[in-house]
Amino acid sequence: MAATGAAGDPVRIGVLSVQGAFAEHVSLLRSLGADPIEVRLPQHLAGVRGLVLPGGESTAMRRLIARWELREPLLALLRSGIPVLGTCAGMILLAREIEGGDEPVLPLLDVTVRRNAFGRQLESFETDLAVPALGDAPVHAVFIRAPVIARTGPDVEILARLPDDRIVAVRQGPILATAFHPELAGEPRFHRILLALAAEIPPDAGSGPR
């Protein structure tokens, strides 16, 4: 079933594509009937009704967002109420606080994140997680140099924890964030929530720069 808005048009979702695992998000969104747009410059935000911030290297992403003058357009878009899904490094970009004193980038999610919480690349792993908000079937989660959430604010809903109680998925209104990569496992349910929220956004509400 296609992801369409009230007028029957495919829902346009921007995928930040300056660095990282953006291609997998684009492919998954397209398979769900959305209209994914790779975002590298402010003008690429025109007409988007939702946004994905992918995994990657958060420091490199921070620098490239600054280089291409994307920070303020992204903030304006997200502050308008556009839904967003941040995965791994994307969760770090959304966090209000980053342990170690790094300056927040798009600080709209009331959490504190701890970068590289599982160590180096060799400590990457996969596991099945219970995420009751997504139904009974577990989520197969891929963790690659992943962060964890060390603190949540009062308006943040915890969606998933590891067996050791560390928080790895949250929601705050239209903001979804995971420490893992659902797109690498072909897990579509987080993206379906994003698309359902985006379909409720009027086509001109998230028009962005033109």
Kindly state the tokens that stand for 41. 């410059």
Quick check: is 183 catalytic?
A: yes
What is the model's pLDDT at position 101?
85
What residues contact 173, with CB distance under 8 A and at least 6 apart? Answer: 155
Residue 57 pLDDT exceeds 70: yes
Q: pLDDT digits over 68-118, tens only?
A: 999 999 999 999 999 999 999 999 999 999 999 899 999 999 999 999 888
CA 201 to CA 192: how far, in whole Å?
A: 15
CATH 3.40.50.300 fits 12-199, yes or no: no
Q: pLDDT digits over 158-209, tens only?
A: 999 999 999 999 999 999 999 999 999 999 999 999 999 999 998 766 545 4
Short-list 162, 178, 183, CA closest to 31:
183
Give the side-chain half-sphere CA count within 13 A for 187: 21
What is the model's pLDDT at position 116?
86
Q: Which residue in 25, 44, 181, 191 is the catalytic one?
A: 181
Q: Domain segments of the chain: what residues?
A: 12-199
Quick check: is 25 catalytic?
A: no
Residue 7 pLDDT exceeds 80: no
Helix (H, G, I), strand (E, B) or coil at 16: strand
pLDDT (average), residues 34-59: 97
Q: Which residue in 24, 88, 187, 191 is the catalytic one?
A: 88
DSSP result, 39-103: ESSGGGGTT-SEEEE--S-HHHHHHHHHHTT-HHHHHHHHHTT--EEEETHHHHHHEEEETTSPP
Residue 210 pLDDT exceeds 50: no
Q: Which residue in 24, 25, 44, 183 is the catalytic one?
A: 183
State the chain's mean pLDDT as an integer: 92
Kindly state the tokens that stand for 4. 């369409």
What is the model's pLDDT at position 120?
64
C-beta separation of 13 from 51 below 8 A: yes
